[in-house]
Amino acid sequence: MNWFGGNSKKGEVELTDHNCVLSHALRTPGVNKLVGKRVILASNSPRRKEILRTFGLEPEVVPSTFEETLSHSSFEDVHEYPVATATHKAVEVYERLVRENPDDAPDLVIAADTVVLTHPSPGLSTTPFADAPMGRQDILEKPLDKDDNLRMLLDLNGGVCEVVTGVSLVYPVLEAPGYKIKSIDERSLVYFADNSEQLLKAYVESGEGIDRAGGFAVQGLGGMLIRKVDGDYQNVVGFPAASFFKFLDLLEEEEQDFLEV
């Protein structure tokens, strides 16, 4: 994408210089591809923004207006739900920004969606009886109120839940419809300690879990409830940074049109 600096001639469109790559970023092939590009994070999550900044990326934040109303039951594999939601978020933001300012369209839109599942997939956990039939994995939404938050935590207490984040990337190409979508998902297991009901009630009263899927925040006071995390800890917080950066490298290597328009 071309842009003009402050000395642009009359009649030319003056665009802002874009660079989301911070000085401390590891300069991998995928990260180098982002230099000078307009990169958008389609999320208002401070946790996702902070995770990306920790690893050297500071994209523009443009929250998606997509209403997360996809039916859970419409997905044969529940792991497809966060990927589909992330894809809708990314496409909504990309198409909106292109309509608003086609001369300064995004080079890359990043969207993510994290869900908590009631129990692990068969074979994913080493917990005794983990492979026993447990029925369909259900998605744990945000608690309705404190009583619902306590119910969730009592169900999770002493057990294992699965956290899945879908990440979708949208970038421009010359072929219709004018963009490509590439997605990944990351899965982590969260092992709850055998917490006393008194501790669970104290956590619920803190209010931290009310706005969190599954009713807990592993990076906050909710960490007191957790025995261990198996897999990417950042994924449980809300964004699988390690897999994301590896994915960028893979796209740079295998997709000839990745960030070339």
Report, as residue numbers or ranges, the catalytic residues.
113
List CB contacts of 73: < 8 A, sequence separation 6 or more.
none
Q: Is 166 helix (H, G, I), strand (E, B) or coil?
A: strand
Q: Where are the beta strands (DSSP E) in the chain?
A: 39-41, 60-61, 108-117, 139-140, 160-172, 179-192, 226-230
Residue with tokens 């599942």: 117
List CB contacts of 252: < 8 A, sequence separation 6 or more.
29, 30, 33, 258, 259
Q: What is the DSSP letter of 105?
A: -
Amino acid residing at 101: N
Amino acid residing at 71: S
